[in-house]
Amino acid sequence: MQPTTCSIMIVDDTKFSSAVVNKMLRNEGFSDIRIAETAIDALTMLKERNADILLADWLMPGMDGLALTQLVRELNRRQNKFTYVVLLTAKEGNEDLKEAFAKGVDDFVGKTTLKSHLLPRVHAAQRISRFQNSLLRRELKLKEQFRTLSLINRVDPPTNVGNLQFLEQQLGRYLEQHKGRNGHIGLLLCRIDNLQSYREQHGDRFRNQILKQACERLKATARPLDDVARVNENTLALVLYGQEASFITHTLIRRVQDSLFTRAYSTSVGFTSLTGTLQYDIIDANGKTPQTAVEVITGALDRLNTLEKGQSIHFWEQPSEDPAESDDPDDLPEMGQQ
């Protein structure tokens, strides 16, 4: 870093002292220098633009150099920047220096040794500041890349809807928001039973084509705040959210059944149709934790795997003596056969 590229701020309530420091720095080749007479003025200027190095008098009226340093550190955290803080002081006691270092000060220059010590310390400070800020920029870039990858990892590429990880996250978020409050989740699983045979006959491209159409139809039946996901090779999921269990109706399930498994699909090999199995759970969110989201989905998928092809069946999360609200598949009525 050349001196001209280093931003320096001088904070001193004595104009003569700040003028001396300013002149020394400019004679050394530094040009980006700002001067503040109070700590408050310095903070205002730093909020507008960060400084690589802060040279501040320890003893100032109103707010001293230590208090300023602590506020600068907080500002650095919010801005994801680093400022190297050097206090100009006549204090040389060990206890004073220990306190200052503990509060975030990086270095000191005694006023009696200003002419001989200031410039070497400033050159060292700009090297450290450059290194620290480069690390912060790299960390920020890595975080952005991680967020991007996380988003990509929650999307199913062939269909552009969420995947199993996305579904687990969404259910966990809803359970967290409704902890201790009333709320229900409707989890509708749609297993496409003849998808594998289509893949064997026509390949992955055809399978992805028909899967994408199926997902678009499922989204068309959903409400704006509901979620659609592909949770495994041949299973789609529609997640609905509501206060009462009654928001999931047989009419909705029939509409999904008709959309996915009755209407024909226009494909590259002509019109075709899908056959499948529907299962929907109504989950009482009260008392559940976000950590149980994985268990809820896993349990629902396990029950789906026990169903014969073409069934549509309704599982209640809470046990009941009413057969229509039982957790035992043998006690549950079929809603329809394909």
Burial class (CB in 10 A: 0-12, 13-18, 19+), 94: exposed
Average pLDDT, the chain: 84
Q: Long-range contacts for 102-105 (Cβ within 8 Å, ≥24 apart)?
A: 103/66, 103/69, 103/70, 104/69, 104/70, 104/72, 104/73, 105/65, 105/66, 105/69
Please choose, from the candidates 124, 57, 41, 42, the residue with its C-alpha nearest in 3D space to the C-alpha of residue 89. Answer: 57
Q: Provide the pLDDT for residue 25.
A: 94
pLDDT digits (tens, 9 = 90+) for 209-253: 999 999 999 999 988 889 999 999 999 999 988 776 666 677 888
Q: Where are the alpha helices (DSSP H) in 84-203?
A: 94-102, 114-153, 164-177, 195-202
State whether residue 146 is helix, strand or coil.
helix
pLDDT digits (tens, 9 = 90+) for 172-200: 888 887 776 778 888 999 999 999 999 99
pLDDT digits (tens, 9 = 90+) for 93-119: 677 788 888 888 999 898 888 888 999
Measure the CA dihedral 148/82/105/38, to 10°. Answer: -130
- The pair of structure tokens assigned to 70 is 């602590």
Report all structural domains of the chain as residue ranges with CATH numbers, in order of start: 3-148 (3.40.50.2300), 155-337 (3.30.70.270)
**285, 183 in Cβ contact below 8 A?**
yes
- The pair of structure tokens assigned to 76 is 């650095």
Q: pTM for the whole thing?
A: 0.53
Q: Provide the pLDDT for residue 324.
A: 41
Question: 329 pLDDT band (50/70/90 cuts)?
Answer: very low
